[in-house]
Amino acid sequence: MPEDDQNLEEELSFSPENIWEKIDKEKRDVVFSFADDYIEFLSSSKTERKSVEEAEKILRENGFKAISEYDQLRPGDKVYIINRNKSLAAVIIGEDELSKGCNIVASHIDAPRLDLKARPLYEDKEASVALLQTHYYGGIKKYQWVSTPLAIHGKVIKEDGTPVDISIGEDPKDPVFVISDLLPHLSKKKQSKRKMKKVIKGEELNLLIAGIPIDDEEVEDKVKTNVLKLLNDKYDIKEEDFTSAELEIVPAGNSRDVGLDRSMIGGYAHDDRVCAYSSLKALTELNSTKKTALIIFFDKEEIGSEGNTGANSDFVNSIYSKLLDKYMGDYTMQDHRNMMDNSKALSGDVSPGINPSFKSVHDIQNAASLGKGLVITKFTGAGGKYSANDAHAEYVALIRRIFNENDIPWQTSELGKVDEGGGGTVAKFLANLNIDVIDIGIPLLGMHSPFEVISKADLYYLSQGYKSFLEAE
């Protein structure tokens, strides 16, 4: 037994600490260099499609091949599966049989943004400009998306199936786009009395795109027609092509260091590309693979995991069938069932960090802070755990043991105060497949804003934590 009260407290109590105190100069270089690589990934992965492309590049550099390139899968093989260019699975086949299940880290690579409407382009004659109408995707605070430089990324698929890539606003020489807010001088009646959700309304999120009229007396909409001509000259598209396009309006510019001490990273879509990237890095650095290690990037989490690229689809079943088919040839429904039942998963997603100016929304003892390590979230949901995956105590104990044995610093968190609000992740959809799953991520400030903030120390240990889980026997 401890000798005095101070030792007794140390011995028995649990209180996560600021992990920077334990990071020496040498370690800090490792942490900062990991962050630099992540900043590069995040800056060039502004959409779910781009995230898949960048991930595929990293996978191929590390010896992974598409499943179609394999005739048969054997232990140690590195393989990936891409679903409709928007979701992805990457696997290292373990020494154990596939029916013993996988260790899974699943995250999502879609992020809140503004999409274009199907007929977005119009000319405002009084304002003398052309604009693009948008329809927001996911839970945004609309007022955060005005008066800030925006980029356009995505694909136009022409009638004959030809894809056209569009990416404008990231190169310093590129133009950017903007949604203009109302000036304060005239906001008093029209805008000042509006509630927060309607400070900017959906139909007011119109993107400024051009102002020069086409030099042609015959044309009625001169600015709009000039935009169409510019698009046609550069991309060989016409107005109807917008109907089969997925063009996403996102914050322009790179992610970057935040703070005098450079301890943080600010950028668009840490939620949830930070978990996706960390799991990808973890997978490429595994030392042992007794169990099959699987990472999954889902699309559509921000709108409820719907659709055939989201977590509430048969994508996981499809991954398992493909792997079993290449591994065993003939396999039974029971092989498939066993592989599912014996799998264990982490749902990789971010948590709210304690916001220093809005502390009252958190129960501080059950909230996460930047720089205190991974966040174990036993359950998400809203109110009385409605719509939550509530991880079993036995499973939480296993995860806690893996992290403690591998010196991974961790803390715990609820989304906020019990009756304050709520939300969910992909966890419950994995649970529906009879897989044990728990949410493991890092704290973040300004979630769903154009410039979210994370700690570099948390980021580094997130990847280390995922690695220790993927390697677990």
Contact 380, 388 (CB under 8 A): yes
* 8-state DSSP, 182: P
Q: Which residue is nearest to Mn ion (CB)?
A: 272
* Residue closer to Mn ion (CB basis): 272 or 414: 272
Residue 6: φ, ψ to 5°? -65, -45
Q: Cβ 285 to Mn ion, closest distance in Å?
A: 23
Q: Which single residue is written with the structure tokens 């020489």?
A: 173
Between CA 362 and CA 219 the distance in angstroms is: 58
The distance of closest approach from Cβ of residue 88 to Mn ion in the complex, given in angstroms and rounded to an integer, is 16
**What is the closest distance, in whole angstroms, from the C-beta atom of residue 27 to Mn ion in the complex?**
28
State the pairing for strand pair 344-347/436-441: parallel
Nearest to 93, CA basis, from 286, 335, 282: 286
Counting runs of H as helices and runs of E as strands, what totals does the chain give?
11, 22
Task: List residues bridging with 79 in a β-sheet.
Answer: 65, 91
Report the interhelical angle of 315-328 vs 333-341 (nearest 10°).
120
CB of 448 to Mn ion, least distance (A): 6
DSSP, residue by residue, 108-166: E----EEEEEEEEEEEETTTTEEEEEEEEESS--GGGGSSS-EEEEEEEE-TTS-EEEE
| CB closer to Mn ion, 311 vs 316 | 311
Beta carbons of 65 and 255 less than 8 angstroms apart? no
For Mn ion, the closer of residues 349 and 458 by Cβ is 349
CA angle (262 as vertex; 266, 31 as ends), nearest 5: 95
**Residue 275 Cβ vs Mn ion, minimum distance, rounded to whole Å:** 8
Rounded to a whole number of angstroms, the minimum distance from the CB of residue 263 to Mn ion is 22
Query: With respect to Mn ion, which residue has the nearer C-beta, 117 or 448?
Result: 448
- DSSP assignments along 252-280, one per residue: -S--EEESTT--EEEES-HHHHHHHHHHH
Q: Give the residue with the Cβ less far from Mn ion, 67 or 114.
A: 114
Reported as half-sphere exposure (CB side, CA atoms, 13 A), residue 135 has a value of: 9
Whose Cβ is closer to Mn ion: residue 342's or residue 413's? Answer: 413
CB of 140 to Mn ion, least distance (A): 10
d(CA 297, CA 89): 6
Q: How far is the CB of 310 from Mn ion (least distance, A)?
A: 13
CB of 349 to Mn ion, least distance (A): 4
Of the pair 94, 424, the CB lying nearest Mn ion is at: 424
Q: Backbone phi, then psi, for 334, in 5-degree steps?
A: -70, -35
299 vs 349 by CB, closer to Mn ion: 349
Distance in Å, CB of 271 to Mn ion, minimum: 4
- In this complex, which beta carbon is closest to Mn ion, that of residue 32 or of residue 137? 137
Residue closer to Mn ion by CB (options 271, 471) is: 271
Smallest separation (angstroms) from Mn ion to the CB of 242: 27
Q: Which long-range contacts (CB under 8 A, 24 or more apart) does 72-78 make?
A: 72/326, 72/327, 72/329, 73/323, 73/326, 73/327, 74/327, 75/289, 76/289
Interface residues with Mn ion (CB under 5 A) are 271-272, 349
| Closer residue to Mn ion in complex, CB, 48/349 | 349
Q: CB of residue 344 vs Mn ion: minimum separation in angstroms?
A: 20
Measured at the alpha carbon of residue 239, what is the angle toward residues 303 and 116, in degrees to the nearest 5?
20
| Element of type H or E holding 323 | helix 315-328
Distance CA(110)–CA(307), nearest Å, equals 13
Tell me whether residue 54 or residue 452 sits nearer to Mn ion (CB atom).
452
